[in-house]
Amino acid sequence: MTKQEKNSPRKDLDGAITSEDVLGKDVIDPRGTFIGVTDKLLLNPQTMEVLGISVDKGFLKKGLVIGSGHIKEVTPHAVLLATTPASQIKGMSVFCSEGTRQGIVQEVQLEENSNKILFLLIRTGTFGHEIKIPAGAIEYIESNVMLNTTPEELKLILQQIDL
């Protein structure tokens, strides 16, 4: 390969996708849930690196920005996400490892400028009592939030947090 061929911009563009391949596509999370439609492609002005996408969630709903690290694949029909946006967790049921329902997610507290969960604020069935569930107690999040603790272990964790 000659030096000219190696530095050819045409070679670097093989297999590239365009903004038309991304904009206006449905955005789908790993659970198959429709999140919204891509309306902007966000680029670093110095490097032209794709930083992420902006998602329009519909009339009267606040949109969101998804970083490129959370995008699994761009298909001809949709943008598939690698992770569920934290905003989608609100309203999910929370269960302990034994299957006991603990409550409903009311709020998701994130690390600043990231999708990393610090804690979940859940409302229990007891007179609307709210408790904070630390991220370390979360086993996984799919259609519900599953904790890696029993109800007794959760009570101990919550007592330690209150100290």
- The domains found in the chain, sorted by start residue, are 3-83 (2.30.30.240), 89-162 (2.30.30.240)
pLDDT of amino acid 126:
65
Six-digit token pair at 163?
């100290």
Q: With contact defined as beta carbons under 8 Å apart, do 99 and 146 qualify? A: no
Entry pTM: 0.66
pLDDT of amino acid 163:
46
Return averaged pLDDT per consecutive 10 residues of the chain, 163 residues in all.
Answer: 54 77 90 90 90 86 83 91 84 91 90 82 81 90 89 81 59
